[in-house]
Amino acid sequence: MKRFGLAIGVLVFFLSPASHVAKLVAEPSNSSSTLLQSSANRDHGSLEGHVLTDAGQALSNAKVTIARMGYQGGVRARTAVTDEKGRFQINSLASGRYRVSVRAAGYVRADNAKEMKYYSPGDYIAITMLKGGVITGTVKSPSGDPLIRVPVHALRLRDSERRANIAPEAFTSRLTDDRGVYRIYGLAPGEYIVSAGGGTRSYAGFNKFERDCPTYYPSSTRQTAERISLQPGQEVSDVNIVWLGEAGQVVSGVASGPKTGQSGSSIAVALVEQATGEIRDIGNTVQEGAFAFYGVPDGEYYLIARSLTGIEKDAAISQPSPVRVAGSSVLGVRVPLLPSGSVSGRVALEPLPKEKSDRCDRRQRIRVEELILTLEREIARGEPEILWQTSRVDAAPDERGLFSVYGLTGGQYRITIAVPTEQWFTKTISITAAPVAQHKSGTDSVEAGPLASSIRIQSGGDVYMNISVAEGAARLSGRVGQTNGQASAGMSVYLVPLDRKDVDNPLRFVRTDARLDGTFAFDGIAPGKYSIFAHRVGAETASDSASSYPSPWNAAGRAFLRSEAKRSRTTVELQSCQTTPDYVVQYPRQ
């Protein structure tokens, strides 16, 4: 429980007693007061659901927060607390897409549930929380004396699905007590390294252990740190650390940029190891953008700064500044912040004209605010993957279809649009030369042409676009027919556009992974003529670095897919709203 009434987030005015007492103790006049009883207003939509533990028990008093996507200003987040049966309900919600987060002391969200998931009013939300794991042990001197008030940090390197996870929230810290005992609880399952001392002030007040290099479990440097694997709810004890107490260096400097020095702006700085991209430490600057990291071991690092103005528009991000620590402190490093880039525009919905909609049974209406736009930064080959940099941003348009995404690091971004039903598809994305007019429909602004690749976003630059989402998507499903008796596992099925106007349109290249039994399904496909073929994942080399799939987001990937399509010589034509079942794709092609 956190009490926040008189602290943060509210302004409290205490009325001076003398002149105001009369008013405060007076009866309210009947005309100006209405007494409302508890009543659920169901005029708008509501979101309800439950929170259970992985053991299937109700989790009561968990705090559920929902936040509407793409909503600017005012009431954005709403909260509810689960009852004794773990249930919650939030009423009077405007239409749109909502993100849900849950907090319960000692519990964590399952990793597979952390994929961005969005809900619309009327949806039921079932949430499972895992009992957090525990890492506990002691920190002692080489002579066996307990060390008191040593900050101990657990850093999650990999999540339960063994994906690298070096986000800042991966740090969880506690202090040793008077017996030298620490207990870090509420840990998500995964692979951890544990370190004592070193680093930034994790706790207020002077702490001598922060001035030394961190000692990693069992008694080593980062290079030889032992990894601890933590299962859901598991308690790993005797993670005992023998303190090395090696003097650490200081890395300090100033992060400054276009908006620094403004009131309310603060800058977060991360110390990232060059070789691994692993965050070693993270902290906020004090006045004038000054920062310092203590207890830094020798090594090669990047410093990355990001301003936290509270206003997304003014976000600024630095390029990684390399720093080499070798036997002495490095003071006075300048980390220049660059203004971030933005993408904004308008999404328009195109329902099918009446004469074309006959084929479409069960037409589904959608609202433009239910769409989710995702911008994903391409990590170039050889570029260190620094997860602290924003690599993926989700946004939603407002009721008028307008959207803005701020705070983007310079780079190449892919854009995808998630549509809530499979009968709609993204028809076009076109970059416009000027901001999309707020009131007119987007079609009359100057078109700079349809999207042929990922979008280049420059530092401080703004990109404008028109997006059209149309009704009448087709569906195609079937199976991969094995001609040589091989197993179908690891197959992907591709659609490559053949219509002249779309041959270079990355939105028209579609991939789906076949299930283990070889069946596959495409939903939300734009009508048109396609080449269809199956391909074994990772079998070819023309892939981008982020995955083993050939990417339609660059010319080389498209050329590769086109050449594969040419060799397959299998075409399929999909009409508006057409559903094609039982389609067999031969592999290898004959």
Residues 388-407 touching another protein, rule: CB under 8 A, are: none
Q: Is 329 in the site for another protein (CB under 8 A)?
A: yes
Nearer Cβ to another protein, position 87 or 589?
Answer: 87
How would DSSP label each residue in 382-410? T----TTS--EEEE---TTSEEEEEEEPS
- The distance of closest approach from Cβ of residue 416 to another protein in the complex, given in angstroms and rounded to an integer, is 29
Q: Is 306 in the site for another protein (CB under 8 A)?
A: no
Among residues 13, 55, 124, 263, the one that binds another protein under rule CB under 8 A: 13
- The distance of closest approach from Cβ of residue 87 to another protein in the complex, given in angstroms and rounded to an integer, is 12
Among residues 35, 55, 326, 446, the one that binds another protein under rule CB under 8 A: 35
β-bridge partners, 346:
402, 466
Nearer Cβ to another protein, position 282 or 348?
Answer: 282
By CB under 8 A, the count of residues binding another protein is 95
Among residues 95, 173, 344, 453, the one that binds another protein under rule CB under 8 A: 173
- The distance of closest approach from Cβ of residue 106 to another protein in the complex, given in angstroms and rounded to an integer, is 4
Q: How far apart are CA 16 and CA 517, in angstroms?
A: 75
Structure tokens given for 46: 């509501």
Q: Is 94 in the site for another protein (CB under 8 A)?
A: yes
Among residues 58, 110, 164, 175, the one that binds another protein under rule CB under 8 A: 175
Which stretches does DSSP call E strand in 419-484? 424-432, 447-450, 455-457, 462-471, 474-482
Q: Is 438 in the site for another protein (CB under 8 A)?
A: no
Which string of x and - marks every residue 368-387 that binds another protein (by CB under 8 A)?
--------------------
Q: How far apart are CA 487 and CA 535, in angstroms?
A: 13
* Burial grade of 1 (CB within 10 A; 0-12, 13-18, 19 or more): exposed
How would DSSP label each residue in 526-578? PSEEEEEEEEETT-SS---SSSSSPPTTSHHHHHHHHHHHHHH--EEEE-TT-
Q: Is 416 in the site for another protein (CB under 8 A)?
A: no
460: left (phi over 0), alpha (psi -120 to 50) or beta: left
Among residues 59, 66, 80, 230, the one that binds another protein under rule CB under 8 A: 80
- CB count within 10 Å of CB 95 equals 15
Q: Specify the pairing of strand 316-318 against strand 341-350.
A: unpaired
Contacts of 414 (CB under 8 A, 6+ apart): 375, 376, 378, 454, 455, 506, 553
Among residues 128, 138, 165, 172, the one that binds another protein under rule CB under 8 A: 172
Of 277-285, 305-313, 360-368, 448-456: span binding another protein (CB under 8 A): 277-285
Q: Is 132 in the site for another protein (CB under 8 A)?
A: yes
> Mapping DSSP to helix (H, G, I), strand (E, B) and coil, where does residue 484 land?
coil
Of 15-23, 156-164, 450-458, 540-548: span binding another protein (CB under 8 A): 15-23
Q: Is 460 in the site for another protein (CB under 8 A)?
A: no
Among residues 149, 259, 367, 589, the one that binds another protein under rule CB under 8 A: 149
Of 144-152, 157-165, 414-422, 580-588: span binding another protein (CB under 8 A): 144-152
Among residues 286, 380, 539, 556, the one that binds another protein under rule CB under 8 A: 286
Q: Is 541 in the site for another protein (CB under 8 A)?
A: no
- The distance of closest approach from Cβ of residue 441 to another protein in the complex, given in angstroms and rounded to an integer, is 22
Nearer Cβ to another protein, position 35 or 446?
Answer: 35
Which stretches does DSSP call E strand in 285-401? 290-296, 299-308, 316-318, 321-325, 330-339, 341-350, 372-377, 392-395
Among residues 79, 364, 441, 563, the one that binds another protein under rule CB under 8 A: 79
Q: How far apart are CA 566 and CA 97, in angstroms?
A: 41
Report 212-271 residues binding another protein (CB under 8 A).
247, 250, 252, 269
Among residues 99, 113, 164, 186, the one that binds another protein under rule CB under 8 A: 186
Cβ atoms 432, 464 nearer than 8 A:
yes
Task: For residue 316, give the nearest of 290, 335, 292 by alpha carbon.
Answer: 335
Nearer Cβ to another protein, position 168 or 322?
Answer: 168
Cβ atoms 346, 401 nearer than 8 A:
yes
Q: Is 143 in the site for another protein (CB under 8 A)?
A: no
- The distance of closest approach from Cβ of residue 127 to another protein in the complex, given in angstroms and rounded to an integer, is 16
Tokens 């799939």 belong to 549
Q: Is 211 in the site for another protein (CB under 8 A)?
A: yes
Q: Is 586 in the site for another protein (CB under 8 A)?
A: no
Nearer Cβ to another protein, position 38 or 224?
Answer: 38
